[in-house]
């Protein structure tokens, strides 16, 4: 199973990796439990920085699409196919929409929401 | 001395194998590539003008012929000296000659790196492809061979250790052998790691050809490691049992064996006819 990235594509390189691995899982091109190349191997094969591949792997692990088993390496998660369909982006939008609606109902203005949101994101305390 | 007769035969074989047989095989491979995959159809294969590679080919041929002639001169000189002497041939002769024989191979190896560097520089593709399968050591070599190499390494150290009354100090061979064998095996381990996980030096190389190359390299290095441990033990045993006359012949034989399982294995197992050269075509896929 090959993976292809385009360095001139507008999508970030790590996002291209994430998308293609998810696509491979969804299309059964790669099965649950299958081993994946190490970060170094994939980065060298694609002539990318190791940090880019590490970021893609981190996001896939967060989404339970892949799992790291210590020194044995990285594998496709047993529930990867189901987990691939979970769109965290949609979930974030739904959650924020609820919060914004509640704040507006309470009389908070849009600019106040933006400032508060910006401050919270900058602080990164939560 | 009649005892030196074995050395003459083995040294003659060293001269012919390393300075005639293998260079001829390499040159015929280069000629086959130049003839079958011309620059007009396979431009990616030639980052420089074809004439440049033809000149390199001629230089390689001439240098090897000179070294071959030198080998025969050395052999005749030893035979002349031997007829009026009672001493044994120094083992430094096959060693020194082997290093001279390796010069064209080293030059070719370094030229190869420069060639692939030019190829990478000329590669303007924006799409990059990789296989989503891990490359692991035991995909390319049997665990038995790995265990055999480790056992041979430990046996070699143990053998020297026992010969020197189980003492290790700066003055005896055990320490030197331990360091030399460690350094050699670490170098081999580094090359294996680089082959498994390192960057692809030929940007266009077909995935299957790469896997084949990795397999041949790893197998060769493991067998070289086993051979070096075995050779050192035999060499020391010969020394111990005062069979010094075999040393030059053994040394020469060892170099030939190393080349046979290194370069020879590459030439036998990575056949040009089996490689995918379509990747070097102008209209080959962008990835």
Q: What is the DSSP string of A12-79?
A: -HHHHHHHHHHHHHHTTSS-TT-EE--HHHHHHHTT--HHHHHHHHHHHHHTTSEEE-GGG-EEE-TT
Q: How far is B120 from chain A, CA to nearest CA, in Å?
A: 11
Fold classification of A13-84 is Arc Repressor Mutant, subunit A (1.10.10)
- What are residue B129's DSSP bridge partners? A4
Q: Is the pLDDT of residue B168 over 80?
A: no
Residue B191 lies in a domain: yes
Intra-chain end-to-end CA distance of chain B, in Å: 64
pLDDT in 10s for each residue of chain A, 126 residues: 889 999 999 999 999 999 999 999 999 899 999 999 999 999 999 999 999 999 999 999 998 999 998 888 999 999 988 888 777 778 889 999 999 999 999 999 999 999 999 998 888 655
Q: Is residue B285 part of a domain?
A: no
Rounded CA-CA distance A121/B2 in Å is: 89
CA geometry: angle A111, A117, A121, nearest 5 deg: 145
Q: Is residue B133 part of a domain?
A: no
* Interface predicted TM-score of the whole assembly (ipTM), two decimals: 0.77
What is the pLDDT averaged over residues B10-16?
95
Domain ranges of chain A: 13-84, 88-123
Expressed as residue numbers, the domain containing B55 is 2-125+138-278
* Distance (Å) from the alpha carbon of B205 to chain A's nearest alpha carbon: 11
pLDDT (tens digit per residue) in B118-135: 998 988 888 998 989 999
Q: How far is B243 from chain A (nearest CA, A)?
A: 49
Residue numbers in B near A24 (CB within 8 A) = 132
Cβ of B131 within 8 Å of Cβ of A45? The answer is yes
Q: Given this model, what pLDDT does residue B186 score? A: 95
Does residue B92 lie in a domain region? yes
Task: Please tell me which residue, B41 or A1, carries the higher pLDDT value.
Answer: B41
Average pLDDT over residues B61-78: 94
Please give the tally of structural domains in chain B. Answer: 1
State how far the Cα of A70 lies from the Cα of A57, in Å rounded to an integer.
14
The stretch B90-105 carries a mean pLDDT of: 91
The interface residues of chain A toward chain B in range 80-119, judged by CB-CB distance below 8 A, are none
Contact A36 B127 (CB under 8 A): no
* Interchain CB contacts (distance < 8 Å): A and B: 62
The Cα of B13 is separated from the nearest Cα of chain A by a number of Å equal to 41
Mean pLDDT (whole number) for B131-152: 94
Contact between chains at B198 and A44 (C-beta distance less than 8 A): yes
pLDDT band at B83 (very low <50, low <70, confident <90, very high): low
Q: Is residue B177 part of a domain?
A: yes
Cβ A8–B126 below 8 Å, yes or no?
Answer: yes
Name which of A45, A46, A57, A75 to mutate to probe chain B: the one with the most chain B Cβ atoms within 10 A of its Cβ: A45
Residues 26-85 of A with CB under 8 A from B: 30, 35-38, 40-42, 44-48, 73
Q: How far does the CA of residue B224 sit from the closest CA of chain A (Å)? A: 25
At B176-210, the pLDDT tens digits run 778 888 899 999 999 999 999 998 889 899 989 99
B173 occurs within a structural domain: yes
Query: What pLDDT is recorded for position B285?
Result: 57
- To the question of pTM greater than 0.90 for the whole model, the response is no
Give the model's pLDDT for residue B148.
Answer: 96
pLDDT band at B13 (very low <50, low <70, confident <90, very high): very high
Residue of A nearest to B196 (CA): A41
Q: What is the pLDDT of residue A125?
A: 54
Q: Residue range B47-60: average pLDDT?
A: 88
Whether residue B287 lies inside any domain: the answer is no
Whether A17 has its CB under 8 Å from any CB of chain B: the answer is no
The pLDDT value given to residue B245: 80
Picking from B126, B127, B130, the nearest residue to A45 by CB comes out as B130
H helical segments located in B134-281? 137-140, 143-163, 173-197, 207-240, 247-259, 265-269
Q: Do A6 and B129 touch (CB under 8 A)?
A: no
Q: According to the model, what pLDDT value does residue B191 have?
A: 94
- The H or E element spanning position B115 is helix B92-122
């Amino acid at each position: 199973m090959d993976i292809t990235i385009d360095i001139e594509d507008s999508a970030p390189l790590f996002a291209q990796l994430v998308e293609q691995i998810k696509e491979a899982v969804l299309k059964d091109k790669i099965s649950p439990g299958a081993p994946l190349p190490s970060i170094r191997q994939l980065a060298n094969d694609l002539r990318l920085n190791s940090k880019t591949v590490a970021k893609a792997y981190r996001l896939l692990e967060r989404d339970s699409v892949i799992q790291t088993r210590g020194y044995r390496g990285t594998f496709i998660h047993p529930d990867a196919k189901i987990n691939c369909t979970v769109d965290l982006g949609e979930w974030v939008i739904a959650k924020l929409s609820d919060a914004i609606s509640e704040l507006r109902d309470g009389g908070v203005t849009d600019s106040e929401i933006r400032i508060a949101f910006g401050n919270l994101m900058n602080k990164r305390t939560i | 001395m009649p005892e030196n007769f074995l050395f003459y035969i083995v040294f003659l074989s060293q001269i012919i194998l390393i300075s005639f047989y293998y260079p001829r095989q390499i040159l015929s491979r280069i000629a086959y590539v130049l003839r079958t995959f011309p620059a007009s159809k396979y431009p990616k294969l030639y980052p420089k003008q074809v004439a440049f590679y033809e000149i390199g080919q001629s230089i390689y041929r001439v240098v090897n012929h000179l070294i071959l002639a030198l080998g025969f001169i050395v052999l005749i000189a030893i035979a002349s000296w031997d007829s009026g002497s009672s001493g044994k041939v120094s083992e430094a002769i096959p060693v020194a000659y082997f290093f001279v024989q390796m010069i064209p191979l080293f030059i070719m190896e370094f030229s190869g790196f420069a060639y692939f560097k030019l190829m990478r520089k000329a590669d303007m593709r924006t799409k990059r492809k990789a296989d989503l399968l891990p490359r692991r050591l035991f995909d390319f070599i049997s665990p038995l061979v790995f265990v055999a190499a480790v056992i041979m390494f430990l046996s070699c150290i143990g053998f020297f250790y026992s010969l020197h009354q189980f003492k290790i100090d700066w003055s005896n061979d055990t320490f030197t052998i331990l360091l030399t064998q460690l350094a050699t095996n670490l170098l081999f381990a580094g090359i294996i790691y680089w082959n498994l996980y390192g960057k692809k030096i030929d940007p266009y190389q077909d995935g299957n050809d790469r896997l084949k190359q990795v397999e041949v390299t790893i197998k060769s290095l493991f067998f070289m490691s086993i051979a070096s441990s075995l050779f050192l033990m035999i060499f020391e045993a010969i020394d111990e049992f005062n069979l010094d006359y075999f040393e030059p012949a053994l040394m020469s034989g060892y170099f030939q064996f190393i080349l046979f399982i290194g370069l020879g294995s590459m030439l036998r197992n990575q056949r040009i006819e089996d490689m995918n050269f379509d990747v070097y075509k102008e209209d080959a896929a962008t990835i």
